[in-house]
Structures are given as structure tokens and as C-alpha cells.
Chain A
Amino acid sequence: MAILDPLSSILEIWSVDMSLLEVHNLKKYFPVGEGLFSRHKGEVKAVDGVSLTVEAGETLGLVGESGCGKSTLGRSILRLVEPTEGEVYFQGKNLLSLSQRELREVRREMQIIFQDPYASLNPRMRVGEIVGEGLEIHKIAKGKKKRERVMELLNQVGLREEHYDRYPHEFSGGQRQRIGIARALAVNPKFIVADEPVSSLDVSIQAQIINLLQELQEKMHLTYFFISHDLRVVEHISHRVAIMYLGKIVEIAPSQTIYRDAKHPYTRALLSAVPIPDPEHKKERIILEGDVPSPVNPPPGCAFHPRCRYREDICDKVEPKLEFGAGGHGVSCHVFGPGKRAHPSG
């Protein structure tokens, strides 16, 4: 197998009943306190045993609070950070077993859009070079062909051809995010990790970018892994949603199920905390006590148990597993998991 051209070998293995992306028990631990004079003290379990699938053409939203490991998960999937353990199958091929050269080939199909459009564009490069760089690296086009393709991309993301020779600082935040999107699209990817792509934008601009991402998805049959802390944005754009807490997926389900019938106490607290733009809207707010515990030393058993008002004896002893019930609704909870108790409030 190894002597074959990597792309054709992908096509060979990838069978139709596999998902576009399958992640199995992925882990990423960062060492803490390791330095010239200090000994290895422990590790931050940023991603701690995540398994999930993403189907072709869908948007999987990943929600969680700062430090829960959602960005690290996104980057581990693309091998932008090297995972500690686990498997990532993209079109049937385990990315973690690929050599750097093979990986580069596969990266044509997988791109990333970053949160901060100010920091993710090289200030010394012109827009045309930024967007066109991937085309040259992957030997897709150069010279006049490249220029034409970049112009086409700029049009696609709502920029104009005269922007080709300008520098990033000449653009507003929303326009820079459009440049970032054009760069990701340049190599005709199938799969895009969007890491908080609208979080730094004002609402009116945020709506423009969300619409653009949705239009592009329909036109080009793109698959998104959409990372965000904003539950309203995620509800709008996602087909399915995964909720992450301290390095683990605690609940995953189709978007409507998550927003109408969440089971995990953390998901319910998270949803109830979102301010609703309607002064007459009355709802019960679940105020969580305390802060997210440190991922260096997570609580035993269910990591959420110290903040959970439904905790039972088992919760600080045994770690719950993500178990699936009807309709692809996965919950990791001893109390409200599939086939267990119903929520008192419905």
C-alpha cells in the first residue's frame, strides 16, 4: 500500500458507508511545568478521549467554554498539533499514520479558518499572494492561471478584483475574514475547520459572514467543523451539535434535539445562560456555581460533578461514557443518559 500514490490509495480504502471524518478516542495532552530547571509535573488533558463523526455536506457545531479544548480538538484533527493518541480517519485514511509528505497531499482537502482575521494574515503579503499561496504550494496553478483563479475566489467571497494588490491592513475585520475564507477555499477543499470564525466581528458583519459560509457550503458541498462559544450562532449554522466540557464530549445530537431536548445538566445550564433578545421572555436560569476546574487535575468520575445539582453517589467515582439513544442523541451522564431518568423540568 505504501508504495502507491497517496491519493489513489485513499480512494481505494474509502468505502461509501464510512463518514467523511471519523475520530476515535483522540487525545492531546500538553506537559506542564516541563522546563530547563523543573521536572515534568503533570499534563493538561486538553482533549481527553474524543470520538465523533462528521458526514459529508453537514455542519457539526462544537460548543464549549474557554479552555474546554475545542480549538485543540479542531487542530488535532488537522494534525496542526500532533495528537497524543487516537485515530482520525479522513475519507477512510488514518491521518495520524501518514508521513509529512502524504499529509501535505491530504491537506488539500482539509482547510482551516481562524478566529482572528487580524493575526492570521501576513501583513507583508498582498491579498492576491495570500489567497494564491496554496495554489502554488499544491501545484494547482501559477502565473496567469493563478491570478484568474484568485480573482474568481475574491468574487466568490464578496470581495472585488481591485483588492488583489492590497495589503491586509487596508481591510476591515469582516473583509479580512472574507480573505481568510478565500484562502481556505483556494485549493478546493472538502472539509473546513472553522475556529470561531465570527467571534471577533460585530453583529451586522457577523450575519454577512455566516450567510457567506452557508451559501458556499450549498454551492460547493462543503463540510464544516464549526467551533464556537456562541450557542445562537451554532444553532443557526449547524446540522448537529457537540457540547464539550473539560476535554470531553458530554452531549452530541442533531441541532433541534440539543436546543429543545438537551439531557446533560451542563448543556442545559449553558443554554439557559444565553441572554435572549426579548425583554418579555421569562425563563428559568440555571446559574452554575464556581468556575470550570483545572484540566491539569480534573475531578474524578464525571468531570462536571462538583458543579452539578443532580449529582448522585456514583458521579464522583465512575466516569460516565458517551452513550447513544434514539435519533443519534449521545449523552455522557449517569443520571440523565439514554434509558435513565427524565428531567424534572421536562
Chain B
Amino acid sequence: MAELIRVKNLRTSFFTPDGEVKAVDGVSFDIGEGKTLGLVGESGCGKSVTALSILRLVPSPPGRVVGGEIFYRGRDLLKLKGEAMRKIRGNEISMIFQEPMTSLNPVFTIGNQIGEAIRLHQGLGKKETREKTIEMLRLVKIADPESRIDDYPHQLSGGMRQRVMIAMALSCHPSLLIADEPTTALDVTIQAQILELIKELQERLGMSLLLITHDLGVVAEQADEVAIMYAGKVVERANAKAIFNRPLHPYTVGLLNSLPGVSGHKKKRLEAIPGMVPSPLELPGGCRFRDRCPKAAGICAEAEPELVEKDKDHGVSCYFA
């Protein structure tokens, strides 16, 4: 299976008055054509910064990609000039965000905003743009698109706004969609609608998906492959079945154990992970998880474990996995 994008040893830092924050510190993964990679981690683990780095949208200053390569269809995105990168954004790689209200401009109609993307990237005329926009709204299953096109964002519900965001992101037929917590702000019944829509569109358009989320349930339902991030690093990576059936890294195990039981497996107490994520300015030497790890031993403090393959296509960075 052909790979669409390969991220190699990506490092992105923010240079703050208190020192260098290594938000992404040597992250590698690849996504095949039409496949979904779930990038999972808790707040501050660097999953969103990874996505922004791929699109070269890291706010600079204070942020900067300080190392690594991002090969998209064989070209290193990090070496592209401004104009070439602009052609990639939207046309090849698109992104949707968590909060659809803050990502939409409140003073323009949704037709205007979706149309802008189409006009800029495809050079269509006014009438064609409007037709194309209505077609996109129909694609994301907004009822009565001919009149909805003239609505302003505040006239739409949260779920509808996220549909508009998806319509906008897909309007130029990207090959890769990056979805950063696309359903976190939505209620479960609306989340189910949106996830279903993304799945359906992905199959229809043959698109790859980088799905960033903290919700292991969402990942289990959508992803083919999963990468678990902790404090700026991928600590485990495998196909979805292996991650949930045979997790190897103590952090992955801890995350799964701390979930409240799903019907039938009611536990008396949750197995919480003790302590909290270390400050990125004061990372412990060696393995970053060792302060919270039940398996930690002397070696863990000495050197940082590498991500190595334990099983076929199942990488983990732990001395005891």
C-alpha cells in the first residue's frame, strides 16, 4: 500500500522567555492512501503542534520547526517555498478544528466563506462558485442548502457549523484531511453524526485522515493505525486492534485502564495513572513517563528509550515492554 505522507523525526520548539519548549520532540509516522491514523494524547502532549507543523502553520515566533522531514508524495514540505506551500494547503492537505464557532468568520455568510476557498483555489466564476458551494453543502448533508448558503454562522447549530467546516475543508478535494478534535465540542448524538459523515466521505473520496483526539473510543471506531503521544514523543504505534488488545507501553495501558468501564465491565475503582504530565520545561531525564510508571527502574532514568519494533508493525518505546 502506497504511503501518502511520511513524517520523520519531526521536532518543533517554542522559544519562550523561560526557555525552549520542545512541544514535538522527534515524532515519526506515516499514513497510507485512504487510511486513518489516530494520533492520541492528553492536553499538551504535542499532537496539535504536530498537525500545525505538517501544514507549516506553527505561529512563528515563538514557534519553529527545528528538525525532521515531512514527505508528502515524495516532496519534503519543510523545504517548500511560500507559494508552493500555499498550493499544498487546501488543495492537497486540509484541516478542521475543534471549535467550529471560532474558526468561522461571524460577519460573512457560510456561502461566502466556503466560496472563498473554492474561488481562490480553483479560479471559478461567481455563478459556478455558488453552484459548487451548494453541491458541497449537499455533500455534508445540510438540509435545504439553497437557502442555508446565505446563513451566518450564528444561525447554525454546533453540528451544522462543523459540517460547514468540513465542506470548506473538502471543497478542493484534498488527499489528506487533518481533523483536530473534530467532535470534542459536540454532544454524543451529534458526534455520532459527524463521525459517520467523515467516514462516509472518506470512503467516497478516497481521502487519508489524520485524526487527532484524546478520546480512545473515537479512535477505536475510526482509526486503522494509532500513535500514542506523551510529552512530545510517540511512545507506541500499531494498528488499532493491537493497541486495544495488546497495549505494550505502560502509558497506553494506564490510559485504557483509567477509562470508566463500558457496560458489563463495571469496576469498583478506576485504575488512575498517578501524578501528572511533567512540565515541558522540566522534563525528567531518561524516559519521560518514568515518574508515573509502575514499571520504572534504574535504567529508565539513565537514557531515553527508543521507539523499537516489538511485534511486527508494533513499535513501543519502553525498556520493559
Contacts and interface: CB of A to CB of B under 8 A. Distances in A.
Given A207-B270, A278-B220, A291 B190 contact: yes
B222 to A, nearest CB: 8
Contact of B214 (A203, A236, A269, A274): A203
A211 B259 CA distance: 12
Interface in B68-127: none
B60 interface: no
Interface in A230-248: 231-233, 235-237
A275 B195 CA distance: 10
Given A65-B187, A66-B187, A285-B192, A276 B270 contact: no
B166 to A, nearest CB: 16
A204 B252 CA distance: 11
A205 B259 CA distance: 11
Contacts of A66: 158, 187
A272 B191 CA distance: 12
B246 interface: no
B159 A211 contact: no
Contact of B254 (A204, A233, A275, A278): A204
Interface string B170-198: 00000000000000000111111101100
B241 interface: yes
A275 B259 CA distance: 12
A207 B158 CA distance: 28
B217 interface: yes
A229 B184 CA distance: 12
A279 interface: yes
B270 A211 contact: yes
Contact of A287 (B192, B214, B240): B192
Q: Which of B159, B256, B258, B261 has the most CB of A within 10 A?
A: B258
Contact of B272 (A207, A231, A276, A292): A207
Given A203-B258, A291-B159, A208 B272 contact: yes
A202 B244 contact: no
B43 A202 contact: yes
B160 to A, nearest CB: 7
A279 B260 contact: no
Contacts of B244: 277-280
A118 B291 CA distance: 26
Contacts of B273: 204, 207-208
Most buried by B among A204, A206, A273: A204
Contacts of B256: 277
Interface in A277-298: 277-281, 285, 287-288, 291-292
A146 B72 CA distance: 63
B147 interface: no
Interface string B223-246: 100000000000000001100110
Given A202-B42, A214-B269, A277-B244, A232 B262 contact: yes
Given A259-B263, A277-B216, A277-B259, A205 B276 contact: yes
Contacts of B52: none
Contacts of A237: 260
Contacts of B43: 202
Given A65-B189, A278-B244, A287-B193, A236 B270 contact: yes
Contacts of B187: 65-66, 229, 292
Interface in A40-86: 65-66
Interface string A247-264: 000000000000110000
A132 interface: no
A235 B254 contact: no
A65 B188 contact: yes
Nearest to A63: B188
B215 interface: yes
A10 interface: no
B288 to A, nearest CB: 14
A44 to B, nearest CB: 16
B204 interface: no
Contact of A275 (B214, B220, B241, B260): B220
Nearest to A208: B272
A172 interface: yes
Contacts of A159: none
B188 A236 contact: no
A281 B220 contact: yes
B217 A291 contact: no
B95 to A, nearest CB: 22
B269 A235 contact: no
Nearest to A255: B266
B163 to A, nearest CB: 11
Nearest to A233: B260
A174 B258 CA distance: 14
Contacts of A259: 263
A210 interface: yes
B271 interface: yes
B259 A203 contact: yes
24 contacts: A66-B187, A203-B255, A204-B258, A204-B276, A205-B276, A207-B258, A207-B260, A207-B273, A210-B270, A211-B269, A232-B260, A275-B192, A275-B215, A275-B218, A275-B220, A276-B220, A276-B262, A277-B219, A277-B244, A279-B220, A280-B244, A287-B189, A287-B193, A288-B189
Given A235-B260, A276-B220, 16 more contacts: A203-B216, A204-B272, A204-B276, A229-B187, A236-B260, A236-B261, A236-B266, A275-B192, A275-B218, A275-B221, A276-B262, A278-B244, A279-B223, A288-B189, A291-B157, A292-B187
Please provide the 6 A-B residue pairs with the shortest distance between their CB atoms, ordered closest to farther.
A275-B217, A207-B258, A236-B260, A207-B272, A202-B42, A65-B187
Interface of B: 42-43, 157-160, 187-193, 195-196, 214-221, 223, 240-241, 244-245, 254-256, 258-263, 266-267, 269-274, 276-277
